[in-house]
Structures are given as structure tokens and as C-alpha cells.
């Protein structure tokens, strides 16, 4: 889903070339029917199965966007000359990245490209986010994330995130605690880079994010188009990349490339 950070996050569902506004449908019944077709989000090829959230198998095994280093940025191998798509990496990996703290189901550390701020935080359902470092490339951001995640989680508990608003946290204070705990590792990383490659964002302010949710579910039931081709219910809210219905929750990103009819 496409997002826009306003007083409450505004959501739109992309269907073909159209963006369908969803906030106005909260409190109303919606129906989604999977018509048993999947098309690759990269090449458009019809596929029997979706890989890595929307790709066909040939794209999955050939695109740099599907490489393991996307999930584990500290394993980026661009500098070794073995990247699947060096031109793509120049535009996506060898660019400014942020290391941040976010509060969705609790405090976590993460990284994102500069161009994905604040989209990344909305996609994760974070109610608070704080940029901590601005660095010159993805590999460096991954190394710093590894140092910090030795002391805090790097994952979101999506079930907990969908059951309630996260309790507010003093993120600047938590940042300072983590920087102190990871001091030796961070200094060792910095020794291998130029001073201009790493900026500690001491003056960064916390970004607060509110989501359009009328009712949080007491129990989280995951919905799946592969098991239930037609899903209908009252749209009670939207958070992260999830639709919260009175019959369960649907991870829209998981079904990228699926052809559906919405009513």
C-alpha cells in the first residue's frame, strides 16, 4: 500500500494503475476476491507462485533486489565485484542510509535508504521513530545495525503491533543507552571509514506516527488469499501494511502481484 504521513497515515491500495483510497472505507464492509492470477511486480510475467513478495522465479534468482544481502545488509558484496546488478546497487545500496530506532511492538533498531524516510517506519507500523546515524552506504549501515542489535531487537512482533498502540518510549534516552553499550564495536567500525561516512544525529527529533484504527483485534488471525480466495469483512483499521478486518488481518505486501477484485 502507498502511504502518506499526515495527522493519521493515509493509505491507498494500488490496483493496476489506479490508487484506491482506503481511509474513507474504514468502518465499512469491503470484499476482496483473488482471481487466481499472479504477475511478477518486476517483469509482469504470469507466475504460478510469488517469490520474495511479488517476483517470478527467474527475477527472484537474477535480481539484486532479491539477494540475501537485502535482508542482511552487513553481507553486501558490491565492493567484491560480485553484485548481480551493479547499476541497481549504485542507485539503491551505494546511497545515503539511516540507522534508526523505532517503536512498534517495542524498541527495535533498523536501517533504511534516505529516500524511504518516513515510508519505512509507516510500513513497519511504528508509532515512534528516531534517526540515529546517517551513513554513506548500505554496507556501513548494516555493520552499525549489527553492533546495536547485540543490545536490542531488530525485529517487529507483528502480532503485538496489531493488537494495540505501542506504549510511548523515551527514544533519545534509549539511543544514548545503546550507543554507550555498543561503544567499542561502533568505534571499531568507524576506524575503517572516513569521518564523513558516519554522522551521529544527536539533534534528530522523534517522529510520532498515528494510524487509522478504530478497533484493535483482541486475537490476531492471519488471512491468506492462497487459502481463502474471497475475503470480506468490516475494515476496522490499517496499520503497517496490514488491513485489520473484523474477521482477521491481511498482510497486503505479502500478496504483491496477486490479481484481486475489490468492492
| φ/ψ of residue 39, rounded to 5 | -125, 130
* Statement to judge: residues 219 and 201 lie in one domain: no
C-alpha to C-alpha distance for 37 and 155, rounded to whole angstroms? 31
Burial 116-132 (b: 16+ CB within 10 A, else e): ebbebbbbbbbbbbbbb
- The partner residues of 100 in beta bridges, in order of sequence, read 110, 131
Whether the CB-CB separation of 129 and 206 falls below 8 Å is answered with yes
- For the chain, percent of residues with pLDDT exceeding 90: 98
Please tell me the predicted confidence (pLDDT) of residue 148: 98
Whether the CB-CB separation of 161 and 121 falls below 8 Å is answered with no
* Statement to judge: residues 72 and 161 lie in one domain: yes
Domain end: 208, 225, 247, which one? 208
Burial of 49 (0-12, 13-18, 19+ CB in 10 A): exposed
Report the mean per-residue pLDDT for the chain: 96
Q: Locate 103 and state its grid cell.
A: 517503536
Cα 167 to Cα 34, 103, 133, 173, 240: the distances in Å are: 36, 8, 24, 15, 16
**Which of the pair, 63 or 17, is modelled with greater confidence?**
63
* Statement to judge: residues 83 and 199 lie in one domain: yes
* Statement to judge: residues 218 and 165 lie in one domain: no
pTM: predicted TM-score of the whole model, two decimal places: 0.93
* Statement to judge: residues 100 and 28 lie in one domain: no
Summarize the confidence of residues 174-185 as an average pLDDT.
Answer: 98
**31-47 pLDDT tens trace:** 999 999 999 999 999 99
* Statement to judge: residues 258 and 146 lie in one domain: no
C-alpha to C-alpha distance for 44 and 16, rounded to whole angstroms? 11
* Statement to judge: residues 184 and 216 lie in one domain: no
Summarize the confidence of residues 6-18 as an average pLDDT.
Answer: 94
pLDDT category of residue 17 using cuts at 50, 70 and 90? confident
Q: What is the DSSP letter of 248?
A: E
Domain end: 208, 225, 251, which one? 208
* Statement to judge: residues 193 and 88 lie in one domain: yes
- For the chain, percent of residues with pLDDT exceeding 70: 100
* Statement to judge: residues 40 and 72 lie in one domain: no
Give me the number of domains the chain comprises. 2
Summarize the confidence of residues 124-153 as an average pLDDT.
Answer: 97
Domain that holds residue 83: 58-208
Nearest to 126 by CA among 105, 109, 104: 104
**81-133 pLDDT tens trace:** 999 999 999 999 999 999 999 999 999 999 999 999 999 999 999 999 999 99
| φ/ψ of residue 163, rounded to 5 | -95, -15
pLDDT value at 16 more than 90: no
* Statement to judge: residues 88 and 156 lie in one domain: yes
* Statement to judge: residues 232 and 102 lie in one domain: no
Cα 71 to Cα 76, 169, 235: the distances in Å are: 10, 26, 31
* Statement to judge: residues 119 and 185 lie in one domain: yes
Amino acid at each position: 500500500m502507498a502511504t502518506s504521513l499526515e495527522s493519521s497515515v493515509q493509505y491507498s491500495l494500488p490496483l493496476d494503475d489506479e490508487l484506491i483510497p482506503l481511509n474513507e472505507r474504514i468502518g465499512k464492509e469491503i470484499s476482496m476476491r483473488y482471481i487466481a492470477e499472479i504477475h511478477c511486480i518486476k517483469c509482469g510475467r504470469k507466475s504460478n507462485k510469488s517469490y520474495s513478495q511479488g517476483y517470478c522465479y527467474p527475477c527472484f534468482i537474477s535480481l539484486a533486489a532479491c539477494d540475501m544481502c537485502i535482508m542482511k545488509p552487513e553481507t553486501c558484496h558490491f565492493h567484491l565485484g560480485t553484485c548481480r546488478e551493479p547499476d541497481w546497487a549504485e542507485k539503491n545500496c551505494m546511497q545515503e542510509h539511516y540507522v534508526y530506532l523505532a517503536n512498534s511492538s517495542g524498541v527495535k533498531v533498523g536501517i533504511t535508504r534516505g529516500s524511504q524516510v518516513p515510508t519505512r517506519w509507516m510500513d513497519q507500523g511504528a508509532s515512534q521513530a528516531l534517526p540515529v546515524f546517517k551513513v554513506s552506504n548500505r554496507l556501513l549501515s548494516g555493520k552499525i545495525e549489527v553492533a546495536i542489535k547485540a543490545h536490542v531487537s531488530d525485529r517487529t512482533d507483528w502480532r503485538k503491533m496489531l493488537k494495540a498502540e505501542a506504549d510511548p518510549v523515551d527514544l533519545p534516552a534509549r539511543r544514548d543507552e545503546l550507543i554507550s553499550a555498543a561503544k567499542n564495536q561502533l568505534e571499531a567500525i568507524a576506524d575503517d571509514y572516513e569521518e564523513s561516512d558516519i554522522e551521529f544525529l544527536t539533534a534528530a527529533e522523534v517522529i510520532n506516527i498515528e494510524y487509522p484504527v478504530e478497533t484493535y483485534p483482541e486475537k490476531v488471525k492471519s488471512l491468506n488469499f492462497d487459502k481463502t480466495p474471497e475475503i470480506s469483512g468490516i475494515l476496522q483499521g490499517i496499520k503497517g501494511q496490514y488491513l485489520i478486518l473484523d474477521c482477521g488481518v491481511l498482510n497486503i505486501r505479502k500478496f504483491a502481484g496477486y490479481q484481486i477484485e475489490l468492492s
